[in-house]
């Protein structure tokens, strides 16, 4: 059993939990995920590893209520335990294979949308610890859905906030800020001593990653996206996370979740996301009734 040591509501529908899992905390790396089950009859749910502390033996997860199983997870409290908490799974981010010296000379741009801020955080934290320069854009529908703002400021060089309704930061989309930063970067490319962006990473809703990819392509900057939202079983057995990357079928859970953005078939990926929508709505309705009776 894996005890919940800390539970904190980040928003009315997003919950952070720090869980006792010493072996996973020692093995986890940026970009990986885990599988949880809230109880012995619960569904297997893949969640991105949001943070990990090898010394404390804890792993942090962030869950947004989107259906029955995520609602059951968020219903747990400090002192409760997960029946299963398995990981780390998936391939870690590519930059962990670079030497510390190489990373320290690089400059990264991260684009985080909504809950995608959670998996962006451990990557930025890792790069910051290695001396890299990192700028981060966080986008959300409204200020109440912005998470990890203070934590991100502590580990990045520059943080840009934008919201759809303008209630926090700048009103607009992440793509607008991204294009301005890349245009400025291009204009300064010939300035002596200017440190250009070497790589960009986008994590968030599929539609956001699609348009970030379209907007970034003219700048010819290497761009990675995470297809973690496609995963269901998390082991490659269910096939729900199949997606075409570079003309070949890939499984996001065992061959990702991170891929070259310019090679991803986003139209196919977005269609796949809707496959179980009606089932999820029905299950969530039954879950709500069950929780209300407790």
How confident is the prediction for the chain on average, in pLDDT?
91
Range name among 39-53, 148-162, 168-182 with the lowest pLDDT average: 39-53
pLDDT tier for residue 256 given thresholds of 50, 70 and 90: very high
Q: What is the mean predicted confidence (pLDDT) over 16-45?
A: 93
pLDDT > 90 in the chain, percent: 78
Position 279 confidence tier, pLDDT thresholds 50, 70, 90:
very low
Task: Compute the average pLDDT of residues 70-78.
Answer: 92
User: Half-sphere exposure of residue 68, counting CA atoms within 13 Å on the CB side?
Assistant: 19
Domain parsing of the chain, residue ranges: 2-89, 94-219
pLDDT digits (tens, 9 = 90+) for 102-126: 999 999 999 999 999 999 999 999 9
Under 8 Å between Cβ of 232 and 241: yes
Q: Which of 219, 205, 235, 222 has the alpha carbon at shortest distance from 263?
A: 222
Choose between 192 and 118: higher pLDDT: 118
Output the pLDDT for position 44: 87
| Distance between CA atoms of residues 63 and 65, nearest Å | 7
Q: pLDDT per residue over 211-223, tens digit each?
A: 999 999 999 999 9
Q: Which of these CATH numbers, 3.90.740.10, 3.40.50.720, 2.40.30.10, 2.40.50.140, describes 2-89? A: 2.40.30.10
The Cα–Cα gap between 236 and 257 comes to 12
Query: Under a CB-based contact definition with an 8 Å cutoff, are residues 17 and 7 in contact?
Result: yes
Structure tokens at 41: 């009859």
- Which of the four pLDDT bands, split at 50, 70 and 90, describes residue 30? very high
Q: Check residue 291 and give its pLDDT.
A: 54
Q: Does the predicted model carry a pTM greater than 0.85?
A: yes
**What is residue 292's predicted lDDT score, i.e. its pLDDT?**
55
Question: Domain 94-219 falls in which CATH fold?
Answer: Rossmann fold (3.40.50)
| The pLDDT value given to residue 237 | 81
DSSP state letters, the chain: -EEEEEEEEEETTEEEEEEE-HHHHHH--TT-EEEEESSTTPPPEEEE--EEETTTTEEEEEEE--SHHHHHHHH--TT-EESEEEEEESPPPGGGGS-HHHHHT-EEEEEEEGGGHHHHHHHHHHHHHTT-EEEEEEEESSGGG--SHHHHHTT-SEEEEEESSSSSSEES-HHHHHHHHHHHHHHTTTSTT-----EEEEES-HHHHHHHHHHHGGGT--EEEE-GGG-SSSSSSS-TTEEEETTEEEEHHHH-SEEEGGGB-HHHHHHHHTTTHHHHHHHHHHHHHHHHH-
Rg (CA), the chain: 19
């Amino acid at each position: 059993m894996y005890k919940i040591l800390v539970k904190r509501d980040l928003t009315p529908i997003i919950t952070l939990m720090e869980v006792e899992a010493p072996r996973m905390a020692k093995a986890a790396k940026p970009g990986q995920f885990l599988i949880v089950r809230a109880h012995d009859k619960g569904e297997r749910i893949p969640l991105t590893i949001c943070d990990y502390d090898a010394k404390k033996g804890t792993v942090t997860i962030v869950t947004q209520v989107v259906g029955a199983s995520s609602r059951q997870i968020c219903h747990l409290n400090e002192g409760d335990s997960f029946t299963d908490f398995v990981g780390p799974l998936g391939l870690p981010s590519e930059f962990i294979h670079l030497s510390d010296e190489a990373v320290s000379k690089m400059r990264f741009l991260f684009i985080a949308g909504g809950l995608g801020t959670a998996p962006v955080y451990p990557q930025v934290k890792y790069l910051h610890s290695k001396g890299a320069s990192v700028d981060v854009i966080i986008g959300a529908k409204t200020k109440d859905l912005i998470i990890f703002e203070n934590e991100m400021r502590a580990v990045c060089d520059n943080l840009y906030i934008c919201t759809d309704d303008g209630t926090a930061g700048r009103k607009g989309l992440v793509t607008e800020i991204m294009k301005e930063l890349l245009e400025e970067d291009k204009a300064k490319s010939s300035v002596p001593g200017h440190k250009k962006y070497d790589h960009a990473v986008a994590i968030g809703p599929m539609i956001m990653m699609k348009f970030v990819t379209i907007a970034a392509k003219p700048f010819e900057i290497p761009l990675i996206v995470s297809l973690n939202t496609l995963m269901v079983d998390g082991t490659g057995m269910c096939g729900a996370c199949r997606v075409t990357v570079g003309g070949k079928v890939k499984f996001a859970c065992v061959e990702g979740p991170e891929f070259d953005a310019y090679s991803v078939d986003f139209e196919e990926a977005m269609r796949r996301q809707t496959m179980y929508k009606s089932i999820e709505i029905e299950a969530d309705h039954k879950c709500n009734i069950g929780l209300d009776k407790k």
